[in-house]
C-alpha cells in the first residue's frame, strides 16, 4: 500500500496549499464514504509510493461538526502511517489545541509550523527545538506558499512512518483526572487491539463522547460505572468534565508558549489596518457592493464578454482568424460592404413603402447590433448610385480570404456530415440540437472561468471570510446567523455543495431556512443565462449581472425576516464564532486550480445532462403534428411542435409575469433539469427563427426580460440541487415546503418586477399593475408585521 501520510490542521492554516505543493497534479477529489464532506488525496511528487491525504480543516477531535467526525474516524479506523500536523505559526496557541489531541492517538506525528515567512516578517521567534522537546515530536519550519521546507517535512514524516514508533504524549493532566483515566482504561479499554490509542479513548469517555461510547459498544452498567468516576472528579475540581479537559490542555499550551515563543512588540498588523476599512460599520457594505460589481463587470461585461464573443462567434460560430491576423482588414471590408448594402436596401424599402422612387435625399434604417435600437440615416441619390455600383461589382467579403481562417465547430461538423452523406434528420439533430444547444452553453465558459478566478482569489486572500463576518451583522438582525452566509458563498460555485455546507449550522431551524434560501444566490450554472439576458435584452448593460447577485441577497434577507416570524422558524439565530485569517497573496497555481475544478465540473455537466436535455428539446422542437400526421417540421412550423404544445398548456402560469409564450415557458421548465438548459433551449427554439439574440430581443421587453431573469434565478434549482435539498431535509414534507416556497417567492417577485416595472419602461399602468402593487404590500406586511413568537 505504500506510506499514507495524513495532513491535519485548523482551517486557514495553509494545509491545502501544502497539499497542492506536495502533490501537484497527482490529486483525486471525492467524498468520504456515506457523507458529503469532501476529501483530497494525491501522490507525493518526490515519491509515488507516498500517498498524501488532506483531511478537512478542524479545530479539535470532538464530534461538534461532521468534518471533525470524519477526520477522527479516518485517523482511528484507517490508521495512516504518519500524521503531518500543520500549524499556523502566527497563531500557535489556538493551533496547538488540536496538536495535544493528535499526539494522544499513538500514530507517529510530525509538526509542520507553516507561514514561517510571515512569522519572521513580524519579528517573532519560535524555538522549534524547545517546542519539539516539550511536545515530544519532530518540529519543522515550513512555508507552503514559498515552497520552503517541504522536502524536509515529508522526509521526516516518512522516517517516522518507517520507524513505526508509537507516539507517546508528554502531557499529563491533574492527578485526579489521571486517576479517572486509569479506572476507565482498566474497566473497558484493555480489550482494544491497539494499546497506543487507549489513552485517547479514555479521555473521550471522560468527556462523555456519545459516539465513542457507541463505537466501543459499552453497556449501560459500564457507562454508569464510568459516570461515577467522572462525577467524583467534577465535584473535586468544581467544573464539568469537558471544561476540565479543555482548561488542562490550555494550561499546558500556555507553558509551551511561554517557553518557546517570543513575540515582537508591534502595533497593528497590515491585516488589522485593512480590516479597519473593509469591516468598518459604515464602509463594509458599500465596499462589498463595489467589489462584487467589479467582479461581475469584468467577468460578464468586459474581459469575459470578449472571450465569450470569440467562443460564440468563432469556436461555436462561423469561425475565427488565427491570432486575429487579417481580422481587422476583414472587418473593414465587411463594414464597407454592409454600409453600402444598407443604402441599397433602404432605397428599395422607400420604393416599396411609397410606390415611387425618391426625388431627393431619403432616410434608411440602421440597427445597432448590441441593443437592437433602430436609428435612421440620410443618403442622397448620388450615395445610392455609388452604393449600388459597389454592391453590384463586389461580392460580400469572405473571411477565408483574409489571414488564416479556422472554421467553427458547426461548419466543421456540417462539412463532415455532408462528406459521409448523413440524412436531414441526423444533420438536424447534431447541428440544430447538440451543437447549437451544448455550444450555446459552452460558449459562456470563458465568462465563468473569469468569474471563478476572481472568486477563488477573494476566498484565498481572506476577504470572503470578512464578508461572512460583515453579513453576520446584517443577517442576525433578520433572524439568520453569519453561518448561513458560508453555504451561500459556496453556492456561488454550485448549489449542491452550498446546500450540503448547511450541516455546519447546529440550530435545526436555521439550517432548514438556510437550505431553503441558499440557491437564491446565482450559482455558476446561472451565469450563462444571466449573460444571455444581459446581452440579448439589455444590450450588454453592466448593471444586469451584479443586480442578479444582489437580487439573491435581497431574497435571502426578505425570506429570513418573513420566515422567522412564523412558528416553524421562530427563535434566536445560532451564535457565530469564526476566525479571520491574515490577508495574504494566494499562489497563482492554487487560484488556477480552484478555477479549473469549478469550470471542469460545469463542462462535464454540459457533456452529460445538458447533452441529453438538448437532444430531447431538439426532438420536441422539430417534431410535431401537421395536417393530422406526425412528421419532422420545417423551421417555420415549430409552432406545431410537441414542445410548443407543452408550453401552451403551462404558459398561462407566466402570463402575469410578462413572458406567457410557450418558448419562455419551456425554457423555464428545462431549467429545472439544469439551469444551463435555459440557454440551450432558447438557442434551439429561437435559433430556428433566425438570429437567437434578435429573436429573443423581439420576444421580451425590458420589464418582461428582467422578470424572466428574476423568476429563473429564484425558483427551484436544478434536479441535482433538489436532490441535495431532499437529502439534507431528510423529510419529504419539508422538501416540498422548500420547493414550493422557492417557486412561489420567485413568481411573486417576477410579478412585481413586470407589473410595476413596465410603468417605468413606458408600457403603461394596467390592471396587472394593481396586482403588482398589492404583492408589494403583502411583502411589506410580512416584513414589518409584529413577531408574536419573539418573546
- Predicted confidence (pLDDT) per residue in 549-600, tens digit: 889 888 988 888 888 888 787 776 666 666 677 788 888 887 888 788 777 8
Reduced to 3 states (helix: H, G, I; strand: E, B; else coil), residue 547 is: helix
Range with the lowest mean pLDDT among 200-204, 248-252, 508-512?
508-512
The rounded percent of the chain whose pLDDT value lies above 90 is: 21
Q: Kindly state the helix (H) or strand (E) to which residue 335 belongs, with its residue range.
A: helix 327-354
| Residue 113 pLDDT > 90 | yes
Alpha carbon distance 348, 769 (integer Å): 43
| DSSP states along 276-339 | HHHT-TTTHHHHHHHHHHHHHIIIIISHHHHHHHHIIIIITTSEEEGGGTTHHHHHHHHHHHHH
Reduced to 3 states (helix: H, G, I; strand: E, B; else coil), residue 505 is: coil
Q: Phi and psi dihedrals of 654, rounded to 5?
A: -100, 0
What confidence tens digit (pLDDT) does each residue in 611-626 have? 777 788 788 878 888 8
Q: Where are the domains of the chain?
A: 3-163, 175-262, 323-404, 446-573+585-784
The pLDDT mean for the chain works out to 84
Rounded (10°) angle between helices 220-237 and 175-184: 180
Q: Kindly state the helix (H) or strand (E) to which residue 633 belongs, with its residue range.
A: none
Dihedral sign, Cα of residue 150, residue 153, residue 159, residue 162: negative
Q: Which CATH code for domain 3-163?
A: 3.40.50.300
Alpha carbon distance 343, 383 (integer Å): 8
Range with the lowest mean pLDDT among 150-154, 242-246, 300-304, 727-731?
300-304
What confidence tens digit (pLDDT) does each residue in 668-715 have? 988 887 787 788 788 878 776 667 778 888 888 889 999 999 999 999
Non-local (6+) Cβ contacts of 161 within 8 A are: 3, 5, 81, 82, 108
Q: Which of 211, 267, 201 is nearest to 69 (CA)?
A: 211
Q: Which of 546, 477, 483 is nearest to 517 (CA)?
A: 483
| Residue 124 pLDDT > 90 | no
Alpha helices in 519-587 (DSSP H): 527-536, 544-564
DSSP character at residue 373: -
Q: Phi and psi dihedrals of 29, rounded to 5?
A: -115, 135
What confidence tens digit (pLDDT) does each residue in 595-653 have? 887 778 767 766 676 677 778 878 887 888 887 788 887 767 778 888 888 888 988 99
Q: Kindly state the helix (H) or strand (E) to which residue 507 belongs, with its residue range.
A: none
What confidence tens digit (pLDDT) does each residue in 341-371 have? 999 999 999 999 888 899 889 998 887 665 5
Rounded (10°) angle between helices 463-477 and 445-461: 90
Radius of gyration (C-alpha) of the chain in whole angstroms: 32
Q: Which of 435, 462, 368 is nearest to 610 (CA)?
A: 435
| Residue 448 pLDDT > 80 | no
Q: Kindly state the helix (H) or strand (E) to which residue 121 belongs, with its residue range.
A: helix 116-121
Give me the pLDDT at residue 578, please.
65
What confidence tens digit (pLDDT) does each residue in 231-251 have? 988 888 888 888 889 888 999
Cα dihedral value 493, 494, 496, 497, nearest 10? -10
C-alpha cell at position 189: 479499554
| Residue 404 pLDDT > 80 | yes
Cα angle value 365/367/369 (rounded, 5°): 165
Placement of cell 413568481 in the chain:
747
Beta strand pairing call for 261-262 and 47-54: unpaired
Long-range contacts at 562-565 (CB < 8 A, ≥ 24 apart): 562/779, 562/782, 562/783, 563/479, 563/513, 563/516, 564/478, 564/479, 564/480, 564/513, 564/787, 565/782, 565/785, 565/787, 565/788, 565/789, 565/790
Beta strand pairing call for 3-9 and 82-88: parallel
CB 299 within 8 A of CB 447: yes
CA distances in angstroms from 267 to 100, 124, 530, listed in the order given? 31, 13, 46
Q: What is the pTM of this model?
A: 0.65
CB 454 within 8 A of CB 622: no
Strand partners, 406: 320
Strand partners, 631: 624
Alpha helices in 565-636 (DSSP H): 588-606, 609-622
Placement of cell 418582461 in the chain:
704
How is domain 175-262 classified at the CATH fold level?
Helix Hairpins (1.10.287)
DSSP character at residue 700: -
E strand intervals along 16-173:
27-31, 38-44, 47-54, 82-88, 109-114, 125-126, 139-141
Give me the pLDDT at residue 35, please.
45
Amino acid at each position: 500500500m505504500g506510506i499514507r501520510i495524513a495532513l491535519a490542521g485548523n482551517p486557514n492554516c495553509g494545509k491545502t496549499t501544502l497539499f497542492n505543493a506536495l502533490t501537484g497534479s497527482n490529486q483525486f477529489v471525492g467524498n468520504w464514504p456515506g457523507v458529503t464532506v469532501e476529501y483530497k488525496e494525491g501522490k507525493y511528487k518526490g515519491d509515488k509510493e507516498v500517498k498524501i491525504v488532506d483531511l478537512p480543516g478542524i479545530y479539535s477531535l470532538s464530534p461538534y461538526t461532521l468534518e471533525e467526525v470524519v477526520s477522527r474516524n479516518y485517523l482511528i479506523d484507517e490508521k495512516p502511517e504518519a500524521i503531518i500536523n500543520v500549524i499556523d505559526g502566527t497563531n500557535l496557541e489556538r493551533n496547538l489545541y488540536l496538536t495535544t489531541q493528535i499526539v494522544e492517538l499513538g500514530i507517529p506525528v510530525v509538526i509542520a509550523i507553516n507561514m514561517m515567512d510571515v512569522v519572521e516578517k513580524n519579528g517573532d521567534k519560535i524555538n522549534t527545538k524547545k517546542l519539539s522537546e516539550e511536545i515530544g515530536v519532530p518540529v519543522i519550519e515550513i512555508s507552503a506558499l514559498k515552497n520552503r521546507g517541504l522536502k524536509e517535512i515529508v522526509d521526516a514524516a516518512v522516517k517516522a512512518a518507517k520507524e513505526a514508533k508509537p507516539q507517546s504524549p508528554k502531557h499529563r493532566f491533574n492527578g485526579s483526572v489521571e486517576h479517572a483515566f486509569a479506572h476507565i482504561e482498566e474497566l473497558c479499554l484493555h480489550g482494544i487491539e491497539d494499546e497506543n490509542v487507549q489513552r485517547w479513548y479514555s479521555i473521550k469517555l471522560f468527556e462523555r463522547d456519545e459516539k465513542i461510547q457507541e463505537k466501543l459498544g459499552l453497556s449501560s452498567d459500564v457507562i454508569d460505572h464510568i459516570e461515577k468516576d467522572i462525577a467524583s472528579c467534577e465535584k473535586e475540581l468544581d467544573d464539568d468534565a469537558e471544561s476540565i479537559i479543555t482548561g488542562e490542555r490550555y494550561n499546558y499550551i500556555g507553558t509551551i508558549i511561554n517557553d518557546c515563543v517570543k513575540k515582537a512588540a508591534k502595533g497593528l498588523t497590515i491585516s488589522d489596518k485593512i480590516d479597519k476599512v473593509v469591516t468598518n460599520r459604515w464602509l463594509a457594505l458599500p465596499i462589498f457592493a463595489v467589489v462584487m460589481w467589479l467582479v461581475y463587470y469584468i467577468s460578464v461585461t468586459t474581459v469575459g464578454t470578449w472571450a465569450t464573443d470569440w467562443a460564440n462567434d468563432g469556436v461555436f460560430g462561423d469561425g475565427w482568424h488565427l491570432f486575429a491576423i487579417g481580422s481587422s482588414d476583414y472587418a473593414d471590408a465587411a463594414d464597407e460592404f454592409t454600409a453600402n448594402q444598407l443604402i441599397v436596401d433602404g432605397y428599395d424599402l422607400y420604393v416599396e413603402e411609397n410606390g415611387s422612387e425618391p426625388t431627393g435625399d431619403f432616410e434608411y434604417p440602421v440597427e445597432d447590433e448590441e441593443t437592437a435600437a433602430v436609428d435612421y440615416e440620410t443618403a442622397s441619390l448620388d450615395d445610392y448610385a455609388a452604393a449600388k455600383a459597389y454592391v453590384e461589382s463586389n461580392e460580400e467579403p469572405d473571411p477565408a480570404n483574409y489571414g488564416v481562417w479556422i472554421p467553427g465547430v458547426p461548419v466543421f461538423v456540417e462539412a463532415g456530415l455532408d462528406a459521409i452523406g448523413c440524412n436531414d434528420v441526423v444533420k438536424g439533430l447534431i447541428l440544430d440540437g447538440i451543437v447549437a444547444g451544448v455550444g450555446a452553453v459552452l460558449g459562456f465558459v470563458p465568462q465563468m472561468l473569469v468569474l471563478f478566478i476572481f472568486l477563488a482569489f477573494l476566498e484565498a486572500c481572506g476577504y470572503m471570510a470578512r464578508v461572512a463576518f460583515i453579513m453576520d451583522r446584517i443577517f442576525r438582525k433578520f433572524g439568520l446567523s453569519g453561518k448561513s452566509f458560508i453555504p451561500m458563498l459556496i453556492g456561488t460555485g454550485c448549489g449542491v455543495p452550498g446546500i450540503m455546507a448547511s450541516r455546519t449550522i447546529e440550530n435545526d431551524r436555521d439550517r432548514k431556512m438556510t437550505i431553503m434560501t441558499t440557491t437564491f444566490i446565482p450559482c455558476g450554472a446561472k451565469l450563462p443565462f444571466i449573460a444571455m439576458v444581459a446581452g440579448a435584452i439589455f444590450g450588454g448593460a453592466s448593471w444586469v449581472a451584479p443586480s442578479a447577485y444582489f437580487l439573491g441577497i435581497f431574497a435571502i434577507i426578505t425570506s429570513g425576516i418573513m420566515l422567522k416570524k412564523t412558528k416553524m422558524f421562530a427563535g434566536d439565530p445560532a451564535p457565530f464564532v469564526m476566525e479571520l485569517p491574515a490577508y495574504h497573496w494566494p499562489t497563482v497555481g492554487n487560484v488556477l486550480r480552484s478555477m479549473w475544478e469549478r469550470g471542469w465540473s460545469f463542462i462535464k455537466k454540459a457533456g452529460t445532462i445538458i447533452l441529453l436535455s438538448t437532444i430531447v428539446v431538439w426532438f420536441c422542437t422539430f417534431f410535431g403534428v401537421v395536417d393530422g400526421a406526425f412528421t419532422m417540421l420545417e423551421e417555420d412550423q415549430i409552432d406545431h411542435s410537441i414542445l410548443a404544445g407543452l408550453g401552451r398548456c403551462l404558459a398561462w402560469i407566466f402570463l402575469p409575469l410578462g413572458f406567457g409564450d410557450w418558448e419562455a415557458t419551456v425554457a423555464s421548465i428545462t431549467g429545472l433539469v439544469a439551469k444551463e438548459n435555459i440557454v440551450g433551449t432558447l438557442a434551439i427554439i429561437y435559433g430556428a427563427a433566425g438570429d437567437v439574440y434578435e429573436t429573443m430581443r423581439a420576444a421580451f421587453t425590458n420589464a418582461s426580460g428582467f422578470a424572466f431573469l428574476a423568476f429563473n434565478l429564484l425558483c427551484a434549482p436544478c434536479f441535482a440541487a433538489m436532490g441535495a435539498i431532499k437529502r439534507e431535509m431528510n423529510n419529504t414534507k419539508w422538501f416540498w415546503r422548500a420547493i414550493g416556497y422557492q417557486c412561489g417567492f420567485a413568481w411573486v417577485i417576477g410579478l412585481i418586477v413586470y407589473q410595476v416595472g413596465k410603468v417605468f419602461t413606458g408600457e403603461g399602468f394596467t390592471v396587472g399593475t394593481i396586482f403588482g402593487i398589492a404583492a408589494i404590500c403583502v411583502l411589506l406586511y410580512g416584513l414589518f408585521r409584529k413577531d408574536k413568537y419573539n418573546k
